[in-house]
Structure 1
Amino acid sequence: MSPFDLSVVDRWSDERTVEVTAAGVEAYAAVVGGPSPVYAVAPAMDLVFAVAEAAVPAELRARVVHGQEDLVFHRPLPVGEKVTLRAAVVGLHGKGSGTTATIKVETRDAAGQLVNEQYVTEFYRGVPTDLAAGSAAPPLPREPLDGPPLHTATTPLPPDLPRQYADASGDHNPIHLDDDFARAAGLPGVIVHGLASLAIATGVVLSASGKTGLRRLGCRFTRPVAPGDTLTTRVWAHEGGYRFDAVDGHDQVVLGSGVAILTP
């Protein structure tokens, strides 16, 4: 019998209203190195956790890591105004090494217009199932990247980045804050939030493009990266947009299948 609750698939949460404050936006920017469209995840953080917890027994939450993120932007977050969010587990899919839960979030402004859509893919390591319920997140590009990158930048990851990012984003998952908890979950110790790495990498992509607006941003979190390490982001121009990845100080890919489609 599966430990996951299939009855939650495609069952939307109640709506939540959250104010997007200038102070919150600025605090996030201070942690990740500048204003970032990835801040769109912060207002939805508590809701994502609540929806996931409805599908997954509490004892399995210690096994979860962020597998993939995909953001579709329709308009900028309205700073100083309130947004309304709802979320649902839209898919549960298993394989031999674990099970993924795909969570979709919709954010709307006061007029009811769609601001952004988010696809959060959680991976429950070591929890194999044969589930194939609902839908997965939109596919990310998997074809190899050809030629040298258009732009490369290396960013040191401060030892206290997980704590700073937790406070700025609202993501206080203990695998990012408690060494003992992280090791008990099968990790080498505290790891940097995948979204913190993505926000830093996004700044490099936008710097390479010379633009600030995005229509889509996505990547896979392929390997944990430790605080105190470095993140080297590599950017390639690709079909009117950009592909990117990022490696740690040991040249191991930690962000893969990165895609950034810019506004015209």
Structure 2
Amino acid sequence: MPLDTSFVDHDFTPWQGTVDARWLMAYAAGLGHTRTAYLDTTRPEGIVSHPLFPICPEWALLTQPGTGRTGLGLSSEESLRGVHARHDLHLHRNIGAPSEITVTARVASVERTSAGALLTVRFQGTADGEPHWTSWMSSLYRGVEVTGPERTGERPPALPDPTAATPDPSSGVLDIPAWAPHVYSECGRIWNPIHTDLAVARGAALPGLILHGSATLAHGVEWVLQALDARPEQVRRLGCSFRATVPVPGKIHPTLRAVHTSPNGTRTAHFTVLNDSGEAAVRDAFLVFAAP
């Protein structure tokens, strides 16, 4: 059934749960990101949450009963047409372990596009009343109609301007094995059968299994941090648009486009991640991190 614009400003049922060291470490390890800060629980300051980890409790909220397709009136078949289109994540503080996290979500916009309905949801993650992150996630439901008058809720902040940055053409290559979507799904607790079930993938008109967009972005973020000798706890904001798929097994090619340093020392890196066919899987990506 169509997605109605009356859902703008609709609040989902909040998600509450414990984020422990096991979950934080499993997410990083599931990506093969094994720096000490992610995994060493003997560090006096504790382990560091991976910059992309907030997507895990966000997914838990979207897939709990009464939320997701049920809460928006989408059928199971329509829900499977949804693809991650954009993400803009603002990190306010590290997620300690353990933390009792509450995630809230509100529909920010429902937009008509030539490809289908574009749904943007604003998430807020808090612990003990303190904000830990805010994010805007856009999903495109291919072939789903939109009904109702145009309505727009809260808009995300303006994106960083890449034209102000100094060009930097560094690039790399990473192998993505056939089992990567399965490991990422289970370690992050982000299960979507389109990434792990060949029958479901082919039913969605895909030739085979593909890597999660968030995993592709996470690999790009980790590569940029290493390329610029930065630390994950410095990350303040990241985002991108998702485009081409990453078939598995295969390779991805993170490419640094430009870097800008502001007068206060904050750096912004602009990058992209190509699939093995040279198509942009992650486009218009950026990573903002505080001065050392």
Gap change, CA 1:86 and 1:134, over 3 Å in 2: same
Task: Work out which of the residue numbers 133, 143, 149 in structure 2 matches 1:116.
Answer: 133
- What is the aligned partner in structure 2 of residue 104 from structure 1? 122
Question: Quick check: 2:117–2:142 contact (8 Å CA) kept in 1?
Answer: yes
Distance in 2, matches of 1:11 and 1:48, equals 13
Distance in 2, matches of 1:103 and 1:249, equals 31
Shift of residue 150 of structure 1? 4.4
Task: Work out which of the residue numbers 65, 73, 77 in structure 1 matches 2:83.
Answer: 65
Task: Work out which of the residue numbers 30, 55, 72 in structure 2 matches 1:41.
Answer: 55
Distance in 1, matches of 2:145 and 2:163, equals 28
Q: Secondary structure at the match of 1:108?
A: strand
Shift of residue 139 of structure 1? 5.1
Task: Work out which of the residue numbers 157, 179, 182 in structure 1 matches 2:176.
Answer: 157
- What is the aligned partner in structure 1 of residue 259 from structure 2? 238
- What is the aligned partner in structure 1 of residue 287 from structure 2? 260
Gap change, CA 1:187 and 1:146, over 3 Å in 2: farther
Question: Quick check: 2:168–2:259 contact (8 Å CA) kept in 1?
Answer: no
Shift of residue 138 of structure 1? 4.6
Q: Secondary structure at the match of 1:257?
A: strand
Structure 1 unaligned residues grouped into runs of 5+ = none
Shift of residue 65 of structure 1? 0.7
Shift of residue 103 of structure 1? 1.0
CA deviation digits over 1:75-104, x for unaligned, max 9? 111221211111122110011211111011
Question: Quick check: 1:74–1:114 contact (8 Å CA) kept in 2?
Answer: yes
Aligned length: 262
Shift of residue 31 of structure 1? 1.6
CA deviation digits over 1:119-160, x for unaligned, max 9? 111011122447633245555468689986343221100101
Structure 2 unaligned residues grouped into runs of 5+ = 39-49, 262-267
Distance in 2, matches of 1:239 and 1:146, equals 4
- What is the aligned partner in structure 2 of residue 199 from structure 1? 218
Distance in 1, matches of 2:164 and 2:242, equals 17
What amino acid maps onto 1:226 in structure 2? Answer: P
Shift of residue 209 of structure 1? 2.2
Question: Quick check: 1:72–1:117 contact (8 Å CA) kept in 2?
Answer: yes
CA deviation digits over 1:23-69, x for unaligned, max 9? 11111111212242101211221212354321141231011111111
Question: Quick check: 2:89–2:238 contact (8 Å CA) kept in 1?
Answer: yes
> What is the TM-score with the length of structure 2 in the denominator?
0.82
- What is the aligned partner in structure 1 of residue 110 from structure 2? 92
Gap change, CA 1:147 and 1:248, over 3 Å in 2: farther
- What is the aligned partner in structure 1 of residue 100 from structure 2? 82
Task: Work out which of the residue numbers 236, 239, 243 in structure 2 matches 1:218.
Answer: 239
Distance in 2, matches of 1:141 and 1:49, equals 31
**Percent of aligned pairs sharing the same letter:** 26
Distance in 1, matches of 2:227 and 2:189, equals 29
Correspondences of 1:167-206 after superposition (within 5 Å): 167-206=186-225
Task: Work out which of the residue numbers 139, 143, 154 in structure 2 matches 1:126.
Answer: 143
What amino acid maps onto 2:111 in structure 1? Answer: H
Shift of residue 13 of structure 1? 2.6
Question: Quick check: 2:8–2:109 contact (8 Å CA) kept in 1?
Answer: yes
Question: Quick check: 1:33–1:200 contact (8 Å CA) kept in 2?
Answer: no
Task: Work out which of the residue numbers 52, 68, 75 in structure 2 matches 1:52.
Answer: 68
What amino acid maps onto 1:25 in structure 2? Answer: L
Gap change, CA 1:143 and 1:211, over 3 Å in 2: closer
What amino acid maps onto 2:287 in structure 1? Answer: A
